[in-house]
Amino acid sequence: MTSASDAPVIRADRLSRWFGNIVAVNDVTLDVRPGITGLLGPNGAGKSTLIRMIAGVARASSGTVTVFGEPVRNNPPLAKRIGIMQEHEAVYGFMTGRRFVRLMGELRQVTPLDAAVERAIGLVELLDAADRKIRTYSRGMRQRIRLAGALVHDPEVLLLDEPLNGADPKQRIQFQRLLRRYADEGRTIVISSHILEEIERIADTVLLLVNGKLAASGDFRAIRAALNERPYHVLVACDSPRSLASAVVQLDSVEAVRLDADGRIVILSRNVRDLQIELPRLAQQESVTLRRVVPLDDSLESVFGYLVDGGER
């Protein structure tokens, strides 16, 4: 098993990948150490391409990537130490779950195979359905059997691309428990997701990828703090916009206020949590009826965009 040392297990140095004119991964340099690392970013950010390059199934246009200090491309022996679960389903529907996991074990030269297969299926809690054809599985079950296939050779590095797609809340909790146990054993786990909260619950450290670039990395709390400090635009519709606007502008949580062409208030705030508390109180105090309060830039893309811009400032 990987030693508990803090040496990076995965290293990418100025890694880029482009497809024609499209840059999927742009000059990414990163170190990943044992534990759970979340790879976060909106759809199309380059997460899958990065994971595939780390696994060695996709080549880099420039830069290098190593795992345990070894190049990953054309390095078959390294496959015994890496488990990967790609985003797209790659299972054989005609096989039973047990046969699939067994095949994955055979292909990775696992011995003793029977025990490893039972252990892997047990880990994902799918023993009851192991003899059913995979084509009869629900999406969540297919994800779990794929995870069992990735775990059967007891890999030291686990690369998981959007593994929680299709999982129900109970499965998510089981999954988190399993990953935590693996991380506590000193393994290195990289898990990608476009869902902020999902990564926050699982990962120790975070790599934030936006438009193929590494926008931020490190402890999740630092990134979360940066997110909380970002300016939000909030649209407020009410029956007396001018009087509410003049009151709102006095609040500490508000940076700027303007009225749009339809007579609605657009508030710029760096502390939405306080604004959420203060706005109704202020409206009551000014005898103003609030009709609508809508955050204008709450999409994940805007959150990531802010971090990228913030990083460049």
**Gap between the Cα atoms of 256 and 220, Å rounded:** 29
- Min. distance of Cβ 87 from other proteins in angstroms? 10
**Taking CB under 8 A as the rule, does residue 132 contact other proteins?**
no
Report the chain's terminal Cα–Cα distance, integer Å: 42
- Single out the residue of 2, 27, 80, 235 in contact with other proteins (rule: CB under 8 A): 80
Listed ranges 106-114, 234-242, 269-277, 305-313: which one lies at the site for other proteins (CB under 8 A): 106-114
DSSP classification of residue 4: S
**Taking CB under 8 A as the rule, does residue 64 contact other proteins?**
no
Fill in the amino acid letter for 67: V
Sheet holding 62-67, edge to edge: 22-32, 10-19, 62-67, 70-71
E strand spans, the chain:
10-19, 22-32, 35-40, 62-67, 70-71, 82-85, 157-161, 188-193, 205-210, 213-219, 232-238, 254-259, 265-269, 290-295
Closer by beta carbon to other proteins, 94 or else 258: 94
What the block records as the tokens of 57 is 């199934």
Nearest in space to 276 (alpha carbons), one of 288, 300, 293: 293
**Taking CB under 8 A as the rule, does residue 86 contact other proteins?**
yes
- Min. distance of Cβ 105 from other proteins in angstroms? 10
Fill in the amino acid letter for 165: N
- Min. distance of Cβ 79 from other proteins in angstroms? 5
Closer by beta carbon to other proteins, 59 or else 221: 59
Task: Restricting to residues 37-56, name those near other proteins by CB under 8 A.
Answer: 52, 55-56
Closer by beta carbon to other proteins, 106 or else 168: 106
- Min. distance of Cβ 102 from other proteins in angstroms? 9
Listed ranges 87-95, 241-249, 273-281, 303-311: which one lies at the site for other proteins (CB under 8 A): 87-95
Q: How many residues bind other proteins (CB under 8 A)?
A: 27
- Single out the residue of 32, 45, 65, 104 in contact with other proteins (rule: CB under 8 A): 104
Angle at 164 between CA 308 and CA 14, to 5 degrees: 35
DSSP classification of residue 76: G
Closer by beta carbon to other proteins, 77 or else 169: 77
- Min. distance of Cβ 106 from other proteins in angstroms? 5
- Min. distance of Cβ 73 from other proteins in angstroms? 8
Contact 161, 146 (CB under 8 A): no
- 3 state SS of 213: strand
Residues at the site binding other proteins, with contacts judged by CB under 8 A: 52, 55-59, 74, 76-77, 79-80, 82, 84, 86, 88-92, 94, 103-104, 106-109, 149
